[in-house]
Amino acid sequence: HPITLSADPARYDYLAAESVETIRVDTDNLDALIHECSRLRATYDIAGITGFAGDDESIYATVGKLCLHFDLPGPNPASIEQCCDKFTQRQLLAEAGIPIPAYRLAANAAEVEISAAEIGLPVILKP
């Protein structure tokens, strides 16, 4: 029995067409999600928690935190957060001896120019 928790259930009108139960909850608020899952757990045997995201990958760390809280199998939230942060990810890969292209963290245009001069062209900028 899948149940979808969403800040805006109307956004997923196809769920209603499939008769999937949806519950409105602030998905940016871990405590609210824990509260809602606890309430559901009183009625249902929760076998797993998953998530899907558009542009915001933070839901995957949230899913990991929920799985950890409810002692369910799931991803390590700290690992997910590290993988979703490209700068941290590159630091960890370099520390592990995995070859990666040169990279820099730049907060403004001046730092981009300095980094490009250090690395050499061409460079790729990522948000």
pTM (2 decimals)? 0.75
Closest CA to 4 of 50, 59, 65: 50
Q: Are residues 91 and 65 in the same domain?
A: no
pLDDT at 91: 93
Domain total in the chain = 2
Domain that holds residue 122: 85-127
If pLDDT is split at 50, 70 and 90, which confidence band does 38 have?
A: very high
Contact 105, 123 (CB under 8 A): no
Q: Are residues 7 and 27 in the same domain?
A: yes
Q: Are residues 4 and 65 in the same domain?
A: yes
Q: Are residues 60 and 98 in the same domain?
A: no
Q: Are residues 57 and 90 in the same domain?
A: no
Summarised one tens digit per residue, pLDDT across range 44-65 is 999 999 887 767 788 899 999 9
Summarised one tens digit per residue, pLDDT across range 6-18 is 999 888 889 888 8
pLDDT at 47: 92
Q: Are residues 90 and 127 in the same domain?
A: yes
